Structure 1
Amino acid sequence: MRRLAREFPPGARPPASEGGAGQRPPSFLLLAMEELNPSHYPATRAARVVENYVNYREGSPHRFFLKEKVTQASKEKSIVNCTAEVLYHLQDPSLAPEVNVTLDRDLEKHTEDADNKFYNKMKNLEIPIEAHTIPDNFGNVQPEMEPIRILAFVACGYVIWQNSTEDTLYSMARIETVKQVKREDEFIEFNYTVLLHDFVSQEMIPWQLQVLWHPQHGTEVKQNKRLPKRCACQKTCE
C-alpha cells in the first residue's frame, strides 16, 4: 500500500491560494509517496478510510463491507480485491482525504429484495420509529433494528471519511438515539446521534447525522455535527 501526502516547501502556499482561480504553479506542488508495511498503523488507518469511503458509496441497510486484509474488502462471503490510494492534505487536515479506489470486479448485489422490503415498510409505518442505545449494554440488537443499525454504519462512513487524518482511527461504537422523520418525497429519513470511537485517542465522540436513503439513489448525509463530549457522571444522571 502507498500513502500519498500533498506537501509544500517551507514558506510556500498551496496552489489554491496563489493568484486567481485555476492557477496552479507546478513548482510549488510536491507529491510524496511512501511504501507502507500493511501490518503497520499508517496502512491500517488509511485502509479504514477506504473501507468507510466504499461503505458510504455502496452500502445499504442490508449491505455492509468489511476489510479482510489491508489490500482487500469483503462483502458477505464474496471477496473483492481492492487497490486504493489515500491522499491526505497535510497543510490543511480539515480537508477530507482524497480516495481513489479500483476493484478487480463489480460489486455483486444480493440485497435488493431485502432493501426494497425495508424501504416499503418504513414508508408505510403509521408511527415513525424511535429508539435508543443500539446495541444495548449487553451487546444485543433487536432483529428489526439491524437494518437501521447497518444504515448508521453506512452513513458514518461519510463522517469518518470526511474527518479522518493520519492520526485517527474511527469506528462507530453504537447508536445513542435514532428517530425516523416522515417525508413527502421518495426518501426515508433518520436522525441519528451516534458514538464514534477513536482508537488512537480512545475518545468516544457524540455525532449527530441527518440521513436520507432510497434503494435506487443510495445514502446521503444531509447534515452532520460533532457534539460536545459528555462525562460519564453526566450520562449516569440522565
Structure 2
Amino acid sequence: MSLRIIVVLAVLTGVTGSPGVMIRPEADSADTTAHPNSVPETVEATEIFGQQEVPAEDEAEEDVMATGELNPNHYPARRAAKVVQHYLNTHYGSPFRLFGLHNVQSGNAEDVADSGRKYQLEISVQEIISNTTENCSAEVLFLRGEQQRLPQVQVSCEELLKSNTKAQEEALFQKYKMNQSLLSAQNLPDSYGHIEPDNKPLWHLGIVASSSVMLKESTENTLYNMAQVANIKQLATENEQLKFDCHTLLHEMVSQEIIHWKLLFTWSPPEGVKVLQMEQLPHCVTHCEKPPNTN
C-alpha cells in the first residue's frame, strides 16, 4: 500500500501519532465520509496532517497501567472508551445508525481480584448520521487469562438507542434484495477520501461488521479504528438475510499497523449485522496480493 493512501486513511480516521491524544476535526461531523471512529478533542500538540508530536515522557506515562482516577486524555481511559464504541456498533449499528466516541469526560480503573481490570467511564457518544450526542456511563472489564477474551461491556445510552431507523433499513433491504445484479464496491473510501453516495450504505455495513472484529481484538494495549473497506460484494442467498463478503483494513493505532481482515456477514433489519466468519489475513511482506487499486 503506498504512502499516499496511508496518509489519506490516517486523515480520514482522525488518527494520531499518539492514540492518547486526538485532533479536533474541522469537517462537519454529520458528513459520513469522515470516519465515525475518529475522536474529536482539543490538543496542544503540533498537528501535522492529523498527527501530533508527543513528548517522550508523555508516551511513557500513558503506557503505565494506572489505578484509581485516570487522565481522560491518556491511553488507559481512551482505550477502554473505544471498546464501548465498538460494542455499540456491534450490537446496535446499521446502515443508518453508527456510533462514534466523541469525548472521554472521566475514568476510573481498578483491579478486580483475579478476574481482570475494570474501567468506570463517563463519556459522550455521537450517533454519526443523525449528528446526535449523548453523555453515557459505561463499564468495561478486560478479563485476565492465558487466552484473550472478549471485553465485557455495560453502557447506558438510552436516548441514542431510541432512534428508529427501521423504515429506512427496510427500504434499503428491499432495494438490495430486488436488484437484478449482486452489488459490489471497492476502496471505500478511495485514496482521495471519496465515496459514491450509492456506496455509503455498503461502507456503513463494513464499519458495523468490522466493529465486531475490533471488539473481539481489543485489549488494554490496543486502540483500533477502521481505515477502509478494500472490497465488499453481495453474495447470493435464498433466505431473508442479505449476505456479504468483505475485505476490510483496520488501523491499530498503538503499533501503527494496517491489519487486513476477511469477513463474511449477513444483514437484515430485524436481525441486524451478524458476522459469520472472520479471518485475519497474513501480513504482506513479499509476494502478497494487494487490495485492488490501493497503489
Q: Does 1:66 align with 2:100?
A: yes
Identity within the alignment, %: 37
Q: Which stretch of structure 1 is more off in the superposition, 126-135 or 101-110? A: 101-110
Shift of residue 77, structure 1, vs aligned partner: 2.8
Aligned to 2:133: 79
Q: Does 1:125 align with 2:179?
A: yes
In the alignment, the residues of structure 1 paired with residue 124 and residue 255 of structure 2 have an alpha-carbon distance, to the nearest angstrom, of: 26
For 2:281, which of 208, 227, 231 is the aligned residue? 227
**Cα deviation per residue 1:180-219 (whole Å; 9 max; x = unaligned)?**
0111110111110100000000000000111111111111
In the alignment, the residues of structure 1 paired with residue 281 and residue 245 of structure 2 have an alpha-carbon distance, to the nearest angstrom, of: 14
Shift of residue 127, structure 1, vs aligned partner: 1.0
> Does the aligned pair in 2 maintain the 1:82–1:102 contact within 8 Å?
yes
Equivalences, count: 207
> Does the aligned pair in 1 maintain the 2:186–2:292 contact within 8 Å?
no
Q: Which stretch of structure 1 is more off in the superposition, 120-129 or 76-85? A: 76-85
**Cα deviation per residue 1:99-135 (whole Å; 9 max; x = unaligned)?**
1112254623243232112101111112101222111
SS of equivalent residue, structure 2 residue 79: helix
Structure exhibiting the larger radius of gyration computed from Cα positions: 1
Flag the 1:104–1:130 CA change in 2: closer, same or farther, 3 A. closer
For 2:272, which of 218, 224, 227 is the aligned residue? 218
Aligned to 1:24: none
Q: What amino acid sits opposite 1:212 in the alignment? A: T
Aligned to 2:262: 208
> Does the aligned pair in 2 maintain the 1:93–1:165 contact within 8 Å?
no
Q: Does 1:141 align with 2:201?
A: no
SS of equivalent residue, structure 2 residue 133: strand
Shift of residue 161, structure 1, vs aligned partner: 0.6
Flag the 1:104–1:123 CA change in 2: closer, same or farther, 3 A. closer
Q: Does 1:158 align with 2:212?
A: yes
Aligned to 1:51: 85
In the alignment, the residues of structure 2 paired with residue 173 and residue 204 of structure 1 have an alpha-carbon distance, to the nearest angstrom, of: 8
Q: What amino acid sits opposite 1:149 in the alignment? A: W
TM-score calculated relative to the size of structure 2 = 0.66
For 2:249, which of 183, 187, 195 is the aligned residue? 195
> Does the aligned pair in 1 maintain the 2:242–2:268 contact within 8 Å?
yes
Unpaired runs of 5+ residues, structure 1, are 1-31
Q: What amino acid sits opposite 2:124 in the alignment? A: Q
> Does the aligned pair in 2 maintain the 1:80–1:107 contact within 8 Å?
no
SS of equivalent residue, structure 2 residue 233: strand
In the alignment, the residues of structure 2 paired with residue 203 and residue 111 of structure 1 have an alpha-carbon distance, to the nearest angstrom, of: 35
In the alignment, the residues of structure 1 paired with residue 292 and residue 137 of structure 2 have an alpha-carbon distance, to the nearest angstrom, of: 47
In the alignment, the residues of structure 2 paired with residue 136 and residue 77 of structure 1 have an alpha-carbon distance, to the nearest angstrom, of: 24
TM-score calculated relative to the size of structure 1 = 0.81
